[in-house]
A = this chain, B = another copy of it.
Amino acid sequence: MEKIKIGIIGAGRIGKIHADNLLQMPQVEVVAVSDLFAGPELEEWASQRNIPLVTKDSGAVIAHPDIDAVFICSSTDTHVPLIKQAAQAGKHIFCEKPVSMDIRQTREAVETAKQAGVKLQIGFNRRFDHNFKRISEHVQGGTIGTPHIVKITSRDPNPPHKDYIRVSGGIFMDMMIHDFDMARYVSGSEIDEVYAHGGVLIDPVFAEYGDIDTAIVTLKFACGAMGVIDNSRQAVYGYDQRVEVFGSKGAVAVTNDYPNSAEISTAEGVFRDKPLHFFLERYQEAYRAETRIFIACIREDQPVPVNGIDGLQAELAALAAKLSFMLQRPVKVTEAMELAEQHAVFI
């Protein structure tokens, strides 16, 4: 069986993770990696992995005749042009979230990929987490009946660097976008309307960049269910990633993952270690699973499980949340969409 050949665009932390996961798959070859800051360090990294081509030029990766698919892991502002180029070159695409911060451009990129007949998978890695997957299976399988309430807790262990805050797109587009996707995933329904609460409770630096660090967003789903997402940029006890779906026949909930199950009982109380620290630890297996599935979809010519429309819908919900926060009233996703259509760059 012929190997599927991959090019990596953007060799930051997440690009390297994808590369290493791909390298563990016997049927995959990583043949090129590009990064704006490619240099001796990246060359060394690539050489240890037998990746033949290292370049600063993403175009060289896309144009590479051997390459079947690219992983776009560069900064968000480059996603749309890269998707378009890769699509036009007939390459399948795995793109990190968000596609862009401009709904119109996201829509165009998604459309281009569709027209070109290439696969476009968005990096909503959490759908492949063992816990959330089990929730989805139970909801789909009817165990809990009709969903009534979806609750998502999503808190980071510590805030990003302020250089990142500046370009992040804000808490809704950068952080809660994962949770909007999760809400759609576990409910099996579109988000219809959101109402966003938020504030700067952790660090005034967020305010300097017009951002907030804590938010609660309520959701109305098209199916009639309701939901709530809470985000914090700083949970000192570690990455807090919990989901619960409550329905007419019961509820399903998942807790965090822990590095071990050891419970210590002493005269002072009962103790255990903190949850897994952050996404690299918690979603290690999920990252592997999303690449495995992307490769399998290419090989068997199946539709990818998280596509451009999923990317677009999560962005629309994030945009609606941002609007709601600014306007201090509930905002429908359709209202956000219409507004986005009228402004080339919203955020």
Q: Mark interface residues in A124-140 (1 if CB within 8 Å of B CB, else 0).
A: 00000011011100100
**Chain B residue at minimal CB-CB distance from A26:** B48
Q: Mark interface residues in A173-217 (1 if CB within 8 Å of B CB, else 0).
A: 000000000000000000000010111011000000000001110
Whether the pair A248, B236 counts as a contact (CB closer than 8 A) is yes
CB-defined contacts of A198 to chain B, threshold 8 Å: 226
Whether the pair A226, B216 counts as a contact (CB closer than 8 A) is yes
Tally of chain A residues near chain B (CB < 8 A): 73
A37 within 8 Å of B (CB atoms): no
CB-defined contacts of A162 to chain B, threshold 8 Å: none
A148 within 8 Å of B (CB atoms): yes
Taking the closest CB of chain B, its distance from the CB of A152, in whole angstroms, is: 11
Whether the pair B199, A197 counts as a contact (CB closer than 8 A) is no
Stretch at the interface among A66-74, A105-113, A249-257: A249-257
**Chain B residue at minimal CB-CB distance from A243:** B262
Integer count of this chain's copies in the complex:
4
Most B CB contacts (10 A, CB to CB) among A144, A226, A234 go to A226
CA gap between A119 and B60 in the complex, in Å: 48
Taking the closest CB of chain B, its distance from the CB of A130, in whole angstroms, is: 5
- Our pick among B224, B257, B262, B328 for the contact of A138 (Cβ within 8 Å) is B262
Whether the pair B155, A264 counts as a contact (CB closer than 8 A) is no
Taking the closest CB of chain B, its distance from the CB of A332, in whole angstroms, is: 11
CB-defined contacts of A334 to chain B, threshold 8 Å: none
CB-defined contacts of A270 to chain B, threshold 8 Å: 237, 271-275
Taking the closest CB of chain B, its distance from the CB of A189, in whole angstroms, is: 13
Taking the closest CB of chain B, its distance from the CB of A101, in whole angstroms, is: 25
Whether the pair A214, B226 counts as a contact (CB closer than 8 A) is yes
CB-defined contacts of A24 to chain B, threshold 8 Å: 24
Whether the pair B155, A246 counts as a contact (CB closer than 8 A) is yes
CA gap between A268 and B268 in the complex, in Å: 14
CA gap between A214 and B227 in the complex, in Å: 11
Whether the pair B237, A224 counts as a contact (CB closer than 8 A) is no
The 6 closest A-B pairs by CB, nearest first: A250-B266, A237-B265, A134-B262, A236-B267, A134-B260, A130-B260
